[in-house]
Structure 1
Amino acid sequence: MLQPYAAREETSRGRLFDEEPSRFRDCYQRDRDRIIHSSAFRRLKHKTQVFIEHEGDYFRTRLTHSIEVGQVARTIAAALGLNIDLTEAVALAHDLGHPPFGHTGEDALQKLMAPYGGFDHNAQAIRIVTSLERHYADFDGLNLTWETLEGIAKHNGPVAGPVPYALAEYNARHDLELHTHASAEAQVAALADDVAYNSHDLHDGLRAELFSTDELAELPLLDGCFAAVDAKYPGLNLYRRRHVALRRFFGTLVDDVVTQAKGRLKELQPVTPDDIRRAGRPMVRFSDEIWEQLQVTRKFLYHRMYRAPDVVKMRSRVTKTVEGLFPFFMAHPEELPKQWRKEVAEARDETALARIVSDYISGMTDRFALQEWERLESLSFDRS
């Protein structure tokens, strides 16, 4: 049973373009399904979190991460009496706007796009689902509901400061109320993201042998998880021991989010979804104690994984790839694929061209970006 402050189809603010309702699915189920069937969602299979896509078959990709976030989000939403389908739609879409090479690629693209309105992956996700996906006869994009678009745009909180052009452009047509918090469902999707990556980055770091199980067992929260496993399963082999301990860590985070959210919601006593948006503070978050302990784990991951020598070496390579692709296409837009050259012909100025180039590069997978840069380097050499 849904709580009064949960999203419902009958109170949805609808879509930018009116459509006939589905006979079998409500509006949020349709949003989720359109996201799953989108080209951008499929490309997440070959975009990575920390490691480059071809470095190992067992490391998380943006696709597997998004599926894990969706699973966690559904669990938390169900526990809180929220709309599970809206929560899952936002969770599955939250990484659609990431360029190749994870945060390294985004950092490079942000610098390159600074003179042209900037680049932000959340804003780019909005651009993808409202414009760049072009498969439907009646509209560009996926024509998602207002609630799903709002969740994608501001699941991390109100959008403060300068609004990235990709978000501002759509918001001028369809006001997403960027100054407020998002729905409880979108807040759940954001915390599910935190739960998932804090857990799976530890898994991936262990598999890459960037740190040891014994080092993990000394971190806050994890020390108790390993101790509990050792007490219940003495003599368990190394791989099972660390897997079971990380499962307990995962469960601890989910339990904490649910407990904290229930307490905050009971205190606020919201009766509509808008009460959540106007609360002035997030309703779904970690406890202060768990949050402080997580910072120790994040600091550990930053130094031992995100800044590990091999990872830094690859960061340098992929940064040069993005920094090479962007000026090349700015100087030679005729080398863009045929469907993109039509956009170039309509570009009014350098800023419009830069945004087209940014859209193209940000949609690339890791492997395609590397292959494309090798091809263009050769082409550039031949021209010289």
Structure 2
Amino acid sequence: MNLAPYAVQEKTARGRFYPETEAQGRNPWQRDRDRVIHSTAFRVLQYKTQVFINHEGDFFRTRLTHSLEVAQIACSVARALKLNVDLTECLALAHDLGHSPFGHAGERALAKMMQDYNGFSHNDQSLRQVTLLEQQYIAFNGLNLTWESLEGLAKHNGPVDNPDPYLERINRSYPLDLFNYASAEAQIASISDDIAYHSHDLDDGLRAGLIEFKDLEDLPVVGEALYEARKQMEQCKFKDSLQKRLRYEVIRRVIDCLVRDLKKQTADNLSGLNPKTPEDIRNCTYGIVQFSPKIMEGNQKIRKFLYQNLYSHWRVNRMSRKGELLVQHLFEILSENVDLLPKKWQIRALEAGKRKQKSGILRVITDYIAGMTDRYAIEEYQRLTDLSILS
């Protein structure tokens, strides 16, 4: 595939922090992608919450299936725009590696417990995971990803105005141009995250019965998709599975609408900017990968609808609250009794304590908990208390 001049390419790549001989038969970002896929953090995403806690059903999405869906959407957009598909795929697969158990409920708990010690966010934790916590290589900690992959993870939500101390430390030794926009590939991975979780959280909400089709009729993009799908369903001969087929058809149409609009608007933006190099994208004063104004407004309304009708649904709130309390209590127990940590984590906590006193110990405990699956967090809590708050 012939890449556009503003795509990230090997001839302009900035290499790795620890120099390595590149693999034959794979470009640097195929190698990055493979390292992400083989990482411990990626593997455990299969048992981490998206919206519904893992034990609520085998058919609801997890962080792993979400990441795969983000990658599929992102690669489609990158390919259409003649961008670096391998880098885009790597960033899409890696963007949630730092997510805590129980989704955003677990993230809120860790942020609360660490509020006096530089806080916690899953985006920052993803970078920490790939630069420090993965321990598979003899020569270094982390995955030693390329500069372009690290830049994309650091700026998943755009330029970083207020980096946390760990990112600042990385940036001092390996500058990531934090105040500029990321590559077009990284921007695609970020907005594809929105497309995937909006559309597929709608799907899971319908599947769980927390949202009904009638709730969607006046929702931008979704309402139009529902209208067209219902027209098509009049000809459907599979009468035993009409509702299931209707749900799938609506979600497909929503994704198709968002992706087509994103491709067209971004292509128009690129034509207007006429970038010659990846640096022209990074130095642009606005994100080049965007929806059209109409679809952007519609997407914001979808987000608001999901917060009001799914993420804040009393059934979701109950399970989220339990997950949040479990993570908070687990953190309190371990921070007061570091000797209850598994041996290798005790050693890390003691080493961190020598350097940074209490903040270092708490960061190790945070790393330990953030790396847990939902199931492991429940089991660890039960082991430490002989009680279960998630029965």
**TM-score (norm: length of structure 2):** 0.94
Per-residue deviation, residues 327-352 of structure 1 (Å, max 9, x unmatched): 21111111111111211221220010
Q: Is the Cα–Cα contact under 8 Å of residues 195 and 255 in structure 2 kept in the other structure?
A: yes
Give unpaired runs (5+ residues) of structure 1.
Answer: 380-384
The answer to whether structure 1 residue 353 and structure 2 residue 361 are counterparts is yes
Instruction: State the partner residue of 1:243.
Output: 248
Instruction: State the partner residue of 1:302.
Output: 307
Structure 2 counterpart SS, 1:238: helix
For residues 203 and 291 of structure 1, what CA distance do their matches in structure 2 show? 20
For residues 25 and 151 of structure 2, what CA distance do their matches in structure 1 show? 24
For residues 138 and 369 of structure 1, what CA distance do their matches in structure 2 show? 31
Structure 1 counterpart SS, 2:115: helix
Q: Which letter maps to 2:212?
A: S
Structure 2 counterpart SS, 1:179: coil
Instruction: State the partner residue of 1:153.
Output: 154
Structure 2 counterpart SS, 1:17: coil
Q: Say which is worse superposed, 327-336 or 197-206, in terms of deviation.
A: 327-336
For residues 120 and 208 of structure 1, what CA distance do their matches in structure 2 show? 28
For residues 368 and 242 of structure 1, what CA distance do their matches in structure 2 show? 33
Instruction: State the partner residue of 2:143.
Output: 142
Per-residue deviation, residues 155-187 of structure 1 (Å, max 9, x unmatched): 2200123x2233223222211111110000000
Q: Which letter maps to 1:323?
A: Q
Give unpaired runs (5+ residues) of structure 2.
Answer: 237-241
Structure 1 stretches of at least 4 aligned residues deviating more than 4 Å after TM superposition? none
Structure 2 counterpart SS, 1:115: coil
Among candidates 284, 300, 307, match of residue 279 of structure 1:
284
Instruction: State the partner residue of 1:375.
Output: 383
Instruction: State the partner residue of 1:84.
Output: 85
The answer to whether structure 1 residue 39 and structure 2 residue 40 are counterparts is yes
Instruction: State the partner residue of 1:382.
Output: none
Q: 1:52-63 alignment to 2 at 5 Å?
A: 52-63=53-64
For residues 317 and 16 of structure 2, what CA distance do their matches in structure 1 show? 43
Q: Is the Cα–Cα contact under 8 Å of residues 120 and 164 in structure 1 kept in the other structure?
A: no
For residues 148 and 121 of structure 1, what CA distance do their matches in structure 2 show? 17
For residues 111 and 42 of structure 2, what CA distance do their matches in structure 1 show? 22
**TM-score (norm: length of structure 1):** 0.96
Q: Which letter maps to 2:106?
A: G
Instruction: State the partner residue of 2:239.
Output: none
Q: Is the Cα–Cα contact under 8 Å of residues 181 and 283 in structure 2 kept in the other structure?
A: yes
Report the CA distance between 1:235 and its aligned residue.
5.0
For residues 60 and 173 of structure 2, what CA distance do their matches in structure 1 show? 39
The answer to whether structure 1 residue 263 and structure 2 residue 268 are counterparts is yes
The answer to whether structure 1 residue 180 and structure 2 residue 175 are counterparts is no
Q: Which letter maps to 2:180?
A: T
Q: Is the Cα–Cα contact under 8 Å of residues 32 and 86 in structure 1 kept in the other structure?
A: yes
For residues 340 and 172 of structure 2, what CA distance do their matches in structure 1 show? 32
Instruction: State the partner residue of 2:296.
Output: 291
Q: Is the Cα–Cα contact under 8 Å of residues 15 and 144 in structure 1 kept in the other structure?
A: yes
For residues 168 and 334 of structure 2, what CA distance do their matches in structure 1 show? 25
Aligned length in residues: 378
Report the CA distance between 1:96 and its aligned residue.
0.5
Instruction: State the partner residue of 1:100.
Output: 101
Q: Which letter maps to 1:276?
A: I
Report the CA distance between 1:373 and its aligned residue.
1.2
Instruction: State the partner residue of 1:344.
Output: 349
Could you say what the CA RMSD is over the residues aligned between the two structures, in angstroms? 1.2
Among candidates 332, 335, 340, match of residue 335 of structure 1:
340
The answer to whether structure 1 residue 69 and structure 2 residue 70 are counterparts is yes
For residues 165 and 59 of structure 1, what CA distance do their matches in structure 2 show? 36
The answer to whether structure 1 residue 171 and structure 2 residue 179 are counterparts is no
Q: 1:327 to 1:169 in 2, by over 3 A?
A: farther
Q: Is the Cα–Cα contact under 8 Å of residues 5 and 273 in structure 1 kept in the other structure?
A: yes
Q: Is the Cα–Cα contact under 8 Å of residues 28 and 89 in structure 1 kept in the other structure?
A: yes
Structure 2 counterpart SS, 1:32: helix
Instruction: State the partner residue of 2:190.
Output: 190
Q: Is the Cα–Cα contact under 8 Å of residues 123 and 156 in structure 2 kept in the other structure?
A: no
Report the CA distance between 1:250 and its aligned residue.
0.7
Q: Which letter maps to 1:120?
A: S
Q: Say which is worse superposed, 171-180 or 55-64, in terms of deviation.
A: 171-180
Q: Is the Cα–Cα contact under 8 Å of residues 21 and 27 in structure 1 kept in the other structure?
A: yes
Q: Is the Cα–Cα contact under 8 Å of residues 124 and 167 in structure 1 kept in the other structure?
A: no
Q: Say which is worse superposed, 261-270 or 213-222, in terms of deviation.
A: 213-222
Structure 2 counterpart SS, 1:367: helix
Instruction: State the partner residue of 1:254.
Output: 259
Per-residue deviation, residues 194-246 of structure 1 (Å, max 9, x unmatched): 11111100100011100112222332212221222233341542221221122
For residues 201 and 375 of structure 1, what CA distance do their matches in structure 2 show? 33
Per-residue deviation, residues 266-296 of structure 1 (Å, max 9, x unmatched): 0111001011000010000111111111222
Q: Is the Cα–Cα contact under 8 Å of residues 119 and 164 in structure 1 kept in the other structure?
A: no
Structure 2 counterpart SS, 1:116: coil
